[in-house]
Structure 1
Amino acid sequence: MEFWLLGEVTARKSRADGESAAVDLGPSMQRCVLAALAVDAGRVVSVGRLIERVWGTDAPLRVRATLSSYVSRLRQVLDGVDIVWRSGGYVLDVDPSAVDLHRFRSLRRKGDVDALAEALRLWRGEALTGVDGEWADAERELLRQERFGAELDLVDARLRHGEGEGLVAGLAGLVAAHPLDERLAGLYMLALYRAHRSADALAHYHRLRGELGDRLGADPGGPLRELYRRILAADPCLEPERPVLPAARPPVPRQLPAAPTPFVGRQDELARLDDLAGTVVISAIAGTGGIGKTWLALHWAHRHLDRFPDGQLFVDLRGFGPDADPVDPAAAVRGFLEALGVDRDRIPAEPHAQAALFRTTVADRRMLLVVDNAADTGQVVPLLPGTRSCTVVVTSRSRLPGLVTRHGARPLPLDVLSDDEARALLAERLGADRTDAEPDAVAELIARCGGLPLALGIIAGRAHTGPDRTLAAAARELRELGLDALDDGDPAASLPAVLSWSYRALTAEQAAVFTLLGIAPGPDIGVPAAASLTGLPPARAGAALRGLHQASLVGLDASGRYRMHDVVRDYAARRAHEHLSVAERTAALRRVVDFYLHTAHAGDRLLDPHRSPVELEPAAPGCTPQPLSDDMVALAWFDAEHPCVLAAQTTAVAHGRHQTAWHLAWALVTFHWRRGRSTDQIAAWQAALTAAEHLPDPKYRIQAHRLLGREYSVTAQHDDALHHLHAALGLAEGDPVQQARTHWALAWAWEMRGDDRSALDHATRALHLLDRSDDPIGKAIALNQVGWFNARLGEHGPARTHCEAALALHRKHHNRDGEANTLDSLGYIAHETGHHAEAAGYYREAIALYRELGDTYETASTLNRLGHTCSAQGLHDAARDAWREALALYAAQGRTADAEKMRQQLDERA
C-alpha cells in the first residue's frame, strides 16, 4: 500500500497482475483524515490536532464520534495497513517511505542531482488535491515552498556540476514567477554568466535592485551584491571547477569524428590534398549542401593522422545548419584553447585576445584543424593559426573568396560523383551481388540522383532496410516522385525529390502550412506569426508546426521558434508556387506582413508613447497581431522578431506596398535607437525613402530624409547625413514642427562632426520654432538640446537653466526617455562644474531609467560618463566597475571604436 499526497490524495495497492489500483477513500472528509495522518506517517497525531486539521475551529458537535467513524471506514479500505490508537491519538502504521511526501523529503536531503530530480518527479500537480480546509490550504502553501526550494537545490547542484547555459530558459520562467527571490536571482545570474551573457546577468541584478527598492525599500543582500561584483570582475571562481590534469605535458587533442564509411572516388581531390601544406579550403561549387564536403575532409584527415603528431582539432561552425544559429568564432576559439589544455583562468575575455592566445599556443605545432560548415570568411579567420606548421581544412557552401585572396588559401571545388563512383557507392552500401543483379535499375537510380552523395545515401539506406524490396521498385518510386536532374549544374536541385518522401506523409493542413513557410519573410517564425501567415487559429498553426518538426522538415530552437533549412525552404517555395494561386500567395504574405506591421507599431507605442502617432490601414482579414502587455514585453518581441520585421519590409517593397514599407521602418525606430542598431536603421530608412517617392504626401519623404540623415551622422557618414537633413529641411518649409525636428537632427549631426557651435545654432532654431507650437515634449527635447550644447561650449549657467526647464516638462508629461536624457545632461553639467557627487546622482538616476526602458545604447554612454565622475571623486573601483559594464555593452552593440577607447581607458587606469 502506497500513499500519495503530492497530487490528488489517494492510496494505491498492488493487484495480482502486478499493476496498482487506486483505493476508493470515500468522502472528502475521509480523505482529509487520511492526509492528516499520512503527513506524520509512523508518528502519533493527537485527537485534538486531527480535529483541528480536518474541521478547523468550527468542529461540529460529537466530532470525536465522527472522527472515530471515519477512522473505522479507512481501516476497512486500507488493505494491509492499519490506523492504530495509541495514547492520546492515532498513528498511520506504515513505513514513511510508502508516502510520496516522505520519499520526496528523504531524496531532497541527499542533495545530489539524481536524487533531487527523482524527488521532483514525485510531484503530480498541486499537493493535497481533493482536501479542503484551513489546515490543507496552509499545508499546501508550505509544500509549494518545499517544492520551490527543491527546484532551486537542483539548479544549485547542476551549477556545481558545471552546467550553465542549459539552465537559463527554465530559470527565466521561475524568475518571472518569483521576481523578488534573491537566491533564485543569484542562480539565474550565475547561469547567464556561464552562458557568456554577462550583460544580461548584470541587467537582471539592476532590475531586482530596483524592484526591491520600490516594493520593500531594501537593497539586495550581501551574497547577491558579492556575486554582482564578481560578475563585473569576471572572477574565475564563477567558472565550474575543472579537474587538474595529472600529466605535466599539454594534452594532445584528438577531436576528429569517426571516418565516414563507405568512401568511394574523389581520387583527384585526395591527391590534390596530399600535395598541399598549410591552409586548405574545400569549397563546393555553387555552395551546395549534401555534396560530400565533410565526407571528403574527414576521410582525408584519418588517412594522414601520422602527419599531425601534435593533435587534431575539429569544430562544426553550423554555418548552414537547420537547428541553430552559426557558432560564434570566439566560442570555437575558446573550445580549441580548452582542448589544448589552457586553463580557463588564463583565457582572456576579449575575442581578439583569445585568438592571439590560440595562435601562440599552436605556433610551431604540427596539427590539423578541420573547420566544418563555415558560413563566411569572417567566421573562419579567428581560427587560423599564424604559422604554416598547421594544416587547416575548411568546408563551406561558399567559395570563401576572402580566405583565398587575403590568406592564401587553396580552393578545391567539389563536383558531383561520376557515374562509376556513384555505382561504386551503391555497391559498397548494398553489396555487389545486389547491384549486379539489377543493372538497369542501378543506372536509373544513379541518373536520377545526379551524382549527389546525400541522395545516393538515402536511396541506399531505404533499399538496405528493405532487403526484399527490388531496386527496380526503388527506381520506379523515384521516377514517380520526380527527383529532378540538377539545375544549371547545381546538385542541390535534386534534394526536393528526397524531401518529397517526408512531404507525402503530411496531413493536408501540415502540407499547407509547410508550403506557406517556404515564402514567409524572415529566417524563422513563431507560432503567432505563423497563425497570421496561414490564416489558422494559433492552436492549429502550432499543432501543424509541431507536426512538421516531428517530420524533420523544420527545426525548433530553445525559444520556440521554427526554422527551415535553406534547401527545405526552396522545396517548400516550389510547392507553394505549384499548388497555390497568385491570389492565395499574395493574401498569405499580406496577412503575415500586416502581422509584423501592426504588432511592431503597437510595440513601438509601448516603447515610446510620446512619439507622434501614424495611422495604419486595417490589418488584412485573418491577420491577428500579437498582443503586447508592456514595454518590456514589446522590447523582447522586437529582439526575437527583428530579422523578420526587416524581411517583412523587403516583402512589402517587392509587392508595391509602399506605405506599409514606410510604416515598418517607422515602427522600428525606437527599438533601433535603444539597441544601437545603426546599420539596420539605415537599411530600413533607405527602403522607406524609396517607398516614400511613390507616396503623395511629402511628410513621408521629410521624415525618411530626417531619420536617414540622423543615422548617417551616428555612423560618421557626415556628408550623407547633411545631404539628407538639408533635403528634409527644404521639404519641411511651412511646417514648423517638421522643421524643428529636422533642426534637432542637424544639431546632432554637427555635434558628431565636432562643431558644437553650429549644433547649438540648430538646437536654438528648433526651440524657437517649438515655442509657437502645442508640443510640450518637443519643446522639452529642444530645451535639453540647447542646454547640452551650452554645456559643451562651457556656458554652464544657461545650460543648467535650459536643462532644468526640460526636466520639469518631461516629468510633467511622464516622458521617461526625455527625463533620462536630461538627467544625463545635468550630470554632465555638474561634472564639468566640479560638483561630482551631484553629477553621480544625476547619472545613476539616468541609468536606472535607461535600464527600465531597455535602452542599452544610452546606458553604455552614461556609464562611461559616470566612470569619469567616480574617478574624479577618487572612487576608482566604482569607476572601473562602470567602465567594465560600459565595455560589455559597447561590445554587444558592435560599437567598435567606443569599445577600443574604453579598453585603453581601463588599461590606463589599471
Structure 2
Amino acid sequence: MVDSNPHNIASADLATTIVQISTIQGHLNLGAPAGIPAMPRQIPPVAPLVDRNDIRAIMTRHLREVRSLLVLTGPAGIGKTLLASHILAGTGGGQLYADLAWSTSSLLGIRSGWLRALGVHRDLVPDDDAENRALWHTVTAQRAVAVLIDGASSAEQVTALRPSTAGATIVTSRRPLLDLTGAGARRFDLPPLSLADAIELLRDALTRAGQPPQPEDGTMLTEMAKACGGLPLALHLTAANTASTTPDNRPPNVLECPVSRAYDSLSGPLARAWRLLTLIPASDFDTEAAATLLDTSPTQARDLLAALHTARLIQATRQDGPTPIRWQIPDALKPAAAEARDQDEPIDQQEQALDRLLDWIRPAAQWAAACATPYRSTSQHVLAANRSSPDRPELTTPAALDWLADQHDLITGCLQTAEDRGAFHLVIALATTGWPLALHHLIDPQRWFTGDQAALQAAELLDDTEAAARALDRLGVWARRTGNHNRAIDYLTRAADQWALLGNPFRQAESRRRIGHVHLAQGHIEEALEMFEQARSAFEQIHSDQGKRSLGLTLIDLATAHLAADHPSHLAPYQDTHTQHAIAAAERGYELILAHAPLDQTSQARALVARGEASARLDHDDALDSLRRALGLAEQAGAVSVRIKAMSALAETLLRLGEEDTAAAIMIERHMLATGLRT
C-alpha cells in the first residue's frame, strides 16, 4: 500500500515495492530498499610491498583455513595498514575499513556506517547500541565481508566492530591486545625491514619521486636507511624530503609519522617519561637508571616503561643477564622524542634529571668496580665505606663485572656528559671504573682510551698530579693492548716521573713493571727482565700487603719473561737456567699472592700457568696439576685471556705426553674462546 500523504513519500515499513500505475503529479522520493546488494570497497589503496611475502602468505592462509580474526602489531610507521590492505584487497563480499586512531565517530556510528554501506536502509539502522550490534551480526552472518580495524587500542573496540564468524577481520595495533587471544585471535608482530630491503624501498621510492639514485649514492642510501630504523613510513618520508624541490637536509621527522598519535595519547607522566629518557647518554638502559632519571621508585619506573613498551615507543633490547631487562628508544623514534623533549620539557627539569643520573652513576660504578677487584687498595677503601649501606649489596666478582659491562655505554656516556658540563672530578672518577673490565679483557681498549684521555685532561685542568699519573698509567696499558708500544712506553714513563715527583715509590715501581710488559710484548726480553728486576727491588722494600701483592705479580712477570727467553724464537731451545728461574719466581709469586691477596684468583691462575709451563719443560710430574688448577681459577675469576693461555700450555703439555685427542679437544675449545674474545 501507498501512504496518501501530500509529499508522495513512501517509507519502507509501509511498502517494499512501489509501482507507478499512472502519471504522478509532484515529486516521489524513494529510499533505497534493504535488499539492494552493495559491494563496498573501503580498504585504502595499496602501495608496493617490500619484504613481507612470508608473513603475508602465513596470514592469508590463516584467514582462509584457520581463523577469521588476526591481530597485526608493531610500532608506528612499520607498515601494518599496508600489509593488512594487501591481504584483504582481493577478498569478495565487501571490504570495510575504520581508522580508530583518527576517527571521531563512536563505535556505534562506525557500525551504522558499515551497515548502510552494505545496503541496509538508514531508517532501518537502530540507534540503540545492543540492537545495532545484533543487526550487524545478522547482516554479516549472511555475507562474508572483510573488515580492517586500523589503530585499535583495546580489545573492547575490536569486539564491538568484529563481524560475525562468516567475515574475516584484521586488526592493526601498537599494543599486543592479549585479551583477544581468548576470542580466537592469532597475533603477528611485524618486524622492521632488513637493511637491504630498506635500501631497496628507499631506492624505489626515490625513483618514483623522480630522483633515481646514482651508482655512487650507495653509501648515502645506506646511511639514510639506517637512520630510518627499518620503518617504511620513515623511508617514504625521507625519499619525499630528498626529492623535494626545496631540499630539507634534516633527518626524517618521525613526528610527521603516526608516532605523534601515540605520543599525543600518552598521559602526563608517561609523556614526561618518554621525553626525559632521551637524556640517557647510552644506547640502552635498565630500570634502575630510568628510575633515577625520572626521580621515581623502581616499581613505578617499571610500570612506566611497561606502558611505553605497550605503546611501542620503547623496545626491550635484552631480557637476561644481571639486569632482568634493558630498554631503548628505537633509533627511528629518537628524533621525535628529542623534539618533544625540547618543545615540552623545561630546560631546568632536563638539567635536574641529568644531575640525578650523574649523581647516581658515580657511586654505583665505583661500588661495582670495587667488588670486581676487591684485592686493590682503592677498592678496599670503597668497600669499607659502603659495606654497611643497605643500598649497596656486595657483589661477587663475576656479577660486578657483568654489571659494569652492562652499564659500560652509560658510564662512558656520562663521562662525556660530565666533561661537557665541566664536572671534571666526575670525569676522573668515572674513568677509573673501566679498569676492572680492562683487567679481564671485557671491553674494547680503543673505546675506553678516549675516556682516560678525558680524565688526563681533567686532571691537568684541576692541577691534580695524582689523578694525572693514574690516567697516564691506564693510557699506557690501553696503548699496549692496542699495539701502540712506543706510545705506551711514553705514557708509562711520564707516569713513573709523576709518581717520583709525588714521592710514591710504590706507584713508580708499578709503572716500571708495566713498561716491562710493553717490552715483553715487543719481544725485547732483556729490557723486560731489567724493568721487572727494578720493580722487584722496589717492591721488596714495601712491607704492606699491597706491596707484597705487587711483588708477587712482579715475580710472575719475571717467570713469564724467563719462559719467553727460553723459547726457541729468542735463544737456544729450553735452556735450563731460564726455566729454573721461571719456576722459582712463579712458586714464590704464587705464595705471596695467596698470602696477601687471596681473592685475586686471576693472579693465582697466572702464577700457576707459569709454574705449570716451567714444570712441563723440566718434565716435573706436577705440571698437569698446576695447569688444570690454573684453568679452574681463571674460569672462576672470568679471566678469559688467562684461560686461553692456560689451555695453550695444557694442550702443549698433553701433546708431549702423547695425549693427542685430549690436546686437540682443548685446542678446539681454546679457539672458540679466543674467537669469542676477539668478537
**Fold similarity call, TM over 0.5:** yes
What letter is aligned with 2:631? Answer: I
Write out per-residue CA displacement over residues 471-491 of structure 1, whole angstroms, 9 at most, x where no aligned residue.
xxxxxxxxxxxxxxx994335
SS of corresponding position for 1:773: coil
Q: Distance in 2 between matches of 1:752 and 1:745?
A: 11
One of 520, 525, 535 as aligned partner of 1:751 = 520
Query: Counterpart of 1:888?
Result: 672
8 Å Cα contact 2:228/2:331 also seen in 1: no
Q: CA 1:540–1:487 in 2, change beyond 3 Å: closer, same or farther? A: farther
SS of corresponding position for 1:557: strand
Q: CA 1:781–1:540 in 2, change beyond 3 Å: closer, same or farther? A: same
Query: Counterpart of 2:259?
Result: 499
What letter is aligned with 1:715? Answer: T
8 Å Cα contact 1:710/1:721 also seen in 2: yes
Q: Report whether the alignment pairs 1:810 with 2:579.
A: no
One of 551, 554, 562 as aligned partner of 2:327 = 562
Query: Counterpart of 1:550?
Result: 310
Query: Counterpart of 2:4?
Result: none
One of 550, 553, 558 as aligned partner of 1:781 = 553
Q: CA 1:752–1:264 in 2, change beyond 3 Å: closer, same or farther? A: closer
Q: Distance in 2 between matches of 1:640 and 1:521?
A: 14
Query: Counterpart of 2:570?
Result: none
Q: Distance in 2 between matches of 1:817 and 1:285?
A: 43
One of 284, 287, 293 as aligned partner of 1:533 = 293
Write out per-residue CA displacement over residues 346-404 of structure 1, whole angstroms, 9 at most, x where no aligned residue.
xxxxxxxxxxxxxxxxxxxxxxxxxxxxxxxxxxxxxxxxxxxxxxxxxxxxxxxxxxx
Q: Distance in 1 between matches of 2:219 and 2:583?
A: 61
Q: CA offset at residue 647 of structure 1?
A: 1.7
What letter is aligned with 1:856? Answer: V
Query: Counterpart of 1:660?
Result: 426
8 Å Cα contact 2:602/2:642 also seen in 1: no
Q: Which runs of 5+ in 1 are unaligned?
A: 1-254, 298-413, 423-485, 896-910
Q: CA offset at residue 256 of structure 1?
A: 11
One of 879, 882, 890 as aligned partner of 2:663 = 879
Q: CA 1:827–1:278 in 2, change beyond 3 Å: closer, same or farther? A: same
Write out per-residue CA displacement over residues 26-55 of structure 1, whole angstroms, 9 at most, x where no aligned residue.
xxxxxxxxxxxxxxxxxxxxxxxxxxxxxx
Write out per-residue CA displacement over residues 166-200 of structure 1, whole angstroms, 9 at most, x where no aligned residue.
xxxxxxxxxxxxxxxxxxxxxxxxxxxxxxxxxxx
What letter is aligned with 2:619? Answer: G
Q: Report whether the alignment pairs 1:669 with 2:669.
A: no
Query: Counterpart of 2:395?
Result: 629
Q: CA 1:743–1:576 in 2, change beyond 3 Å: closer, same or farther? A: same
Q: CA offset at residue 492 of structure 1?
A: 1.0
Q: CA 1:288–1:881 in 2, change beyond 3 Å: closer, same or farther? A: closer
8 Å Cα contact 1:291/1:491 also seen in 2: no
What letter is aligned with 2:274? Answer: F
One of 572, 585, 590 as aligned partner of 2:337 = 572
8 Å Cα contact 1:673/1:857 also seen in 2: no
Greater shift, 283-292 or 521-530, is seen at 283-292
Q: Distance in 2 between matches of 1:631 and 1:417?
A: 50
Query: Counterpart of 1:584?
Result: 349
Query: Counterpart of 1:95?
Result: none
Q: CA offset at residue 878 of structure 1?
A: 1.5
Write out per-residue CA displacement over residues 827-858 of structure 1, whole angstroms, 9 at most, x where no aligned residue.
221133233x5222212111111111111222
Q: Distance in 2 between matches of 1:267 and 1:526?
A: 38
One of 720, 727, 750 as aligned partner of 2:494 = 727
Q: CA offset at residue 593 of structure 1?
A: 2.8
Q: Distance in 1 between matches of 2:393 and 2:356?
A: 16
Q: CA 1:268–1:279 in 2, change beyond 3 Å: closer, same or farther? A: closer
One of 221, 245, 248 as aligned partner of 1:283 = 221
Q: CA 1:704–1:755 in 2, change beyond 3 Å: closer, same or farther? A: same
Q: CA offset at residue 551 of structure 1?
A: 0.9
What letter is aligned with 2:407? Answer: E
Q: CA offset at residue 723 of structure 1?
A: 1.2
Q: Report whether the alignment pairs 1:708 with 2:475.
A: yes
What letter is aligned with 2:584? Answer: T
SS of corresponding position for 1:562: strand
Q: Distance in 1 between matches of 2:349 and 2:205?
A: 50
What letter is aligned with 2:504? Answer: D
TM-score by length of 1: 0.45
Q: CA 1:416–1:701 in 2, change beyond 3 Å: closer, same or farther? A: closer
What letter is aligned with 1:729? Answer: A
One of 798, 804, 809 as aligned partner of 2:581 = 798
Please list, as runs of the form range in 1=range in 2, the aligned pairs for 1:219-618 lying within 5 A after superposition: 269=207, 283=221, 488-490=248-250, 492-493=252-253, 495=255, 498-559=258-319, 561-613=326-378
SS of corresponding position for 1:572: helix
Q: CA offset at residue 755 of structure 1?
A: 0.6
One of 816, 835, 845 as aligned partner of 2:629 = 845
What letter is aligned with 1:687? Answer: A
Q: CA 1:750–1:491 in 2, change beyond 3 Å: closer, same or farther? A: closer
8 Å Cα contact 1:645/1:664 also seen in 2: yes
Q: CA offset at residue 676 of structure 1?
A: 4.5
What letter is aligned with 2:402? Answer: A
RMSD of aligned Cα (Å): 3.8
* Identity rate, percent: 21
Number of paired residues? Answer: 453
Q: Distance in 1 between matches of 2:227 and 2:414?
A: 27
SS of corresponding position for 1:492: coil
Query: Counterpart of 2:69?
Result: none
SS of corresponding position for 1:283: helix
Highest CA radius of gyration, 1 or 2?
2
SS of corresponding position for 1:675: coil
Query: Counterpart of 1:689?
Result: 456
Q: CA offset at residue 579 of structure 1?
A: 3.7
Q: Distance in 2 between matches of 1:509 and 1:687?
A: 36
Q: CA 1:270–1:534 in 2, change beyond 3 Å: closer, same or farther? A: closer
One of 600, 609, 625 as aligned partner of 1:824 = 609
Q: CA 1:686–1:865 in 2, change beyond 3 Å: closer, same or farther? A: farther
TM-score by length of 2: 0.60
Q: Distance in 1 between matches of 2:465 and 2:372?
A: 26
Query: Counterpart of 2:8?
Result: none
What letter is aligned with 1:822? Answer: A
Q: CA offset at residue 292 of structure 1?
A: 9.4
SS of corresponding position for 2:266: coil
Q: CA 1:815–1:282 in 2, change beyond 3 Å: closer, same or farther? A: closer
SS of corresponding position for 1:691: helix
8 Å Cα contact 1:595/1:624 also seen in 2: no
Write out per-residue CA displacement over residues 512-571 of structure 1, whole angstroms, 9 at most, x where no aligned residue.
221111111111111111111112110011111111111111002341711111242233
Query: Counterpart of 1:481?
Result: none
Q: CA offset at residue 273 of structure 1?
A: 11
Q: Which runs of 5+ in 2 are unaligned?
A: 1-192, 321-325, 567-577
8 Å Cα contact 1:649/1:660 also seen in 2: yes
8 Å Cα contact 2:606/2:630 also seen in 1: yes
Q: Distance in 1 between matches of 2:390 and 2:335?
A: 27
What letter is aligned with 1:810? Answer: I
Q: CA offset at residue 692 of structure 1?
A: 2.1
